[in-house]
Structure 1
């Protein structure tokens, strides 16, 4: 956990001291008054101003909850006996302080991970692959942005032997900032696809934004290159340091051999690592997870972990919630909860994975709208609808503001209209799905985070019970 003298903070972040406190050593950081008491007995509270809130109004509350220092970006009354540091930008200062703390552990390796799809699952696999090193610091949940990543870094302690940091973004320049904070030894860009197009407009721009990881990394590091993704391949080629390629191409250092699916539970994988064949059983389905596993293997190899130890860790990694999470209902219905997020490529991967698995009953897909797709959103939703038909979905439910386009795409590809139901009303969706699904069916539920598709799953669990 961060430990720093209060008088140092202003120098580290380029701010100025505006109030003097009584506790000299600050331990830990929080941006949320609700978690301050859980951080330490002497934390720093960073007041962040957003479009709908201003934490400067909570300085008194922060001190009541235990803050011994506050970092502010606008004039505010500092409670007595509390250090006050004034900066131009609280978020920028948070990053500078995190970068300083990361450098206190400069001999401890960091793996930085970004990409349009698979970041979190790959992160979990890398944590598994590195577990033989000892304690691993890793991103929790969605703490992967300009606020969350620094808060993750502040948890770093002497016990950690490596760090695995996920990097998310919504705009150009953010991955560069996160890379400067994390200073990774190993970088992974899982893939580049149509995401964040509301701001970045084109996949070319998405590639440039994701590519900031490789571009900003130290040249004595290692990049793990997805040889099946032309954008990542190009970004990897431009990196002047060491490269480890993975995929199906002849020039791959980690090369796919073959896989055997065990339904939706797991798959058996054979691939080669620098010419040596290895076997791995993954506790998750789907070829996209094969790619994630090979990327994780590459990261472990880059840090000197023996391949057999890396594979052992990956085989027992903990999958993330709401990422192809299997749920067996007492009614005999199996639900695949892939609700965490969605874009066209991840939708296609989920549909293909479920379609390829053996099942006793029908394939029912409940697809929510996808966000942040920009001006081509309508077209992208129709394409996903067509993917549903191509992947032999028997019954399709579409939900949200783009429900009509999803349904239109499926019907245009040949799906019977009587097997398609569309709505923007969650309560109606709950009732309709509940009335249609039956024992033996596999129900895939997926949509963008803002659609909160897990509400449907909670309803099915409540009405049908969990086996």
Structure 2
């Protein structure tokens, strides 16, 4: 079936689902495949549960007698083509967001600020890959005036794939750092891949990017693009600085000679750039200064991203969604500068660092020796291979067992590690 005809069927539906356990009445089911599942096998079930159509790519699950089952060559490619076709039909102004650190928080802040003036669609959670991006685009409706689309990658070429699906009109790379080095091969590979967003916009022509002015890596690859700049250097489109961070970020920002101060619910001075990006983009699209400040002061982060949690016994800074050398060092430096008694750092392995993993974990351990925290608890085999005198535990279960026998009391605890280390389970024990 040609994409135009399939799109016509899609417009008859109340959205699209790829999960046979979630089949809203009148929706379209599209059968994806993975290592442990085959969505084609659930096509008939999806129709019985209320879907209007089911799209499959294996002939044995289609039948000429059932026109509600649509056969295509490849369901994943069809999903991506359908999303691109839909995006083009609606023509919504779109901002592409990528980067090593901060892209999810920045995306949330941008959407919150733009939401003060526009009807905004934005990426939910971490739906930022080759499946999540098209699913997000297919949620676009005519009433949406803007879209903020997060794009993630852990291998070369992935951002290129995503930008050709989403076709953003504007772009922002939050930063580049040492993450997913196992997939990218090198730090230069990270820069090239994130830069695929700039490449697309450069080829498109007359495109605008929002850029952190003090980042030498981004400036180097931003040639040929219109740059709207933010940072801490005077005279930029938006200039900002940290006022305090104890523990929540309070910052000031200045544009066109007018200054404002904002108290946020964001933990960490490293969130300054994320907030300034949202200010810059909000102003670019005409959101009033007062509304920008209101949006940023009202935003509360979720999903284990720099959350402040008060338990009966301790105060926790939970940043257990992701970890790489750049974000780990930023979190530790911020924790070191915080005014708090009885600081305890519980850190889990940083994943996907490839051959440089041992070196990067040792750098973290060496920095920890300078921090003077009351207690450091390292979790996972990568930290276990470093040279240090800090406590070490095999996994989160060992930590939970220790805390059950010897609870922490009256401490300020930083919990940070890659998501697969499952440190997000620790707050229940603290």
TMscore range, shorter length? over 0.9
User: Could you say what secondary structure the match of 1:432 adopts?
Assistant: helix
The structural deviation recorded for 1:12 is 6.2
Given the alignment of the two structures, is residue 290 of structure 1 paired with residue 269 of structure 2, yes or no? no
Q: 1:75 to 1:210 in 2, by over 3 A?
A: same
1:190-269 → structure 2 map (5 Å cutoff): 190-217=174-201, 218-236=204-222, 238=223, 240-250=224-234, 252-261=236-245, 263-264=246-247, 266-269=248-251
**What CA RMSD, in Å, does the superposition of the two structures yield over aligned residues?**
2.3
**Alignment partners' CA distance in 1, 2:96 and 2:312:** 41
Q: Does 1:73 align with 2:57?
A: yes
Q: CA separation in 1, counterparts of 2:154 and 2:119?
A: 30
Aligned counterparts of 2:385 and 2:238: Cα–Cα separation in 1: 39
Does residue 101 in structure 1 map to residue 86 in structure 2? yes
- For residue 385 of structure 2, give the secondary structure of its aligned residue in structure 1: helix
Match of 1:3 in 2: none
Q: Distance in 1 between matches of 2:229 and 2:6?
A: 38
Q: CA deviation at 1:128?
A: 1.7
Equivalents in 2 of 1:12, 1:247: separation in Å?
Answer: 46
Give the equivalent residue in structure 1 for 2:14.
27
Residues 427-461 of structure 1 deviation map (CA, whole Å, 9 limit, x = unaligned): 2211223455533211111111111111222333x
Mapping of 1:370-449 within 5 angstroms? 370-405=350-385, 408=387, 411=388, 417=389, 420-436=390-406, 438-449=408-419
What residue ranges of structure 2 are gaps of 5+ in the alignment?
A: none
Distance 1:203 1:376 in 2: 11
**Structure 1, unpaired ranges of 5+:** 1-6, 412-416, 461-467
Moved more, 252-261 or 151-160: 252-261
Q: Which runs of 4+ in 1 moved over 6 A?
A: none
Superposition deviation, residue 222 in structure 1: 1.6
* Distance in 1 between residues matched to 2:405 and 2:371, nearest whole Å: 23
Structure 1 position 368 matched with structure 2 position 348: yes
Q: What's the CA shift string for 1:317-372, capped at 9, x where partnerless? A: 231220111111112x111111111111111111122221111x311111111111
Instruction: Show the counterpart of 1:36.
Output: 23
Contact 1:368 1:447 in 2 (8 A): yes
Please give the secondary structure, in 1, of the residue aligned with 2:13: strand
**92-101 vs 252-261, greater mean Cα deviation:** 252-261
Find the aligned partners of 2:112 and 2:11 in 1 and give their Cα distance. 38
Q: Structure 1 residues 24 and 345, CA, compared in 2 at 3 Å: closer, same or farther? A: closer
Task: Please give the alpha-carbon distance, in whole angstroms, between the structure 1 residues aligned to 2:349 and 2:41.
Answer: 36
Cα distance between partner residues in 1 of 2:90 and 2:190 = 31
- Give the conservation status (yes or no) of the 8 Å contact 2:56–2:62: no
Aligned to 1:465: none
**Aligned with 2:130 (options 118, 126, 146):** 146
Aligned to 1:348: 329
| Cα deviation 1:258-308 (Å, max 9, x = unaligned) | 4222x11x2321232244333222221322111101111122122232333
SS at match of 2:260: strand
CA distance in structure 2 between the partners assigned to 1:24 and 1:227 by the alignment: 43
- Per-residue CA deviation, residues 37-63 of structure 1 (Å, 9 max, x unaligned), is 3xxx22222111223322122222222
CA contact under 8 A between 1:113 and 1:188: conserved in structure 2? yes
Change (3 A) 1:378 1:235: same
Question: Are 2:171 and 1:187 aligned?
Answer: yes
Q: 2: distance between equivalents of 1:288 and 1:87?
A: 46
Pick one of 236, 247, 253 that aligns with 1:271: 253
1:459/1:78 Cα in 2 relative to 1: closer, same or farther (>3 Å)?
A: farther
Does 2:291 correspond to 1:309? Answer: yes
Q: Which moved more, 1:109-118 or 1:388-397?
A: 388-397
Give the number of equivalent residue pairs: 427
- How much does 1:167 deviate? 0.8
Distance 1:24 1:326, change over 3 A: closer
1:319 alignment partner in structure 2: 301
Match of 2:301, SS state, is coil
SS, match of residue 245 in structure 1 = strand
Matched, 1:118 2:99: no
Give the TM-score normalised by the residue count of structure 2: 0.92
Choose from 310, 317, 320 the match for 1:328: 310
| 8 Å contact from structure 1 (residues 326, 336) kept in 2 | yes
Q: For 1:402, what is the secondary structure of its paired residue?
A: helix
How much does 1:160 deviate?
2.2
2:155 and 2:395 mapped to 1: Cα distance?
Answer: 31
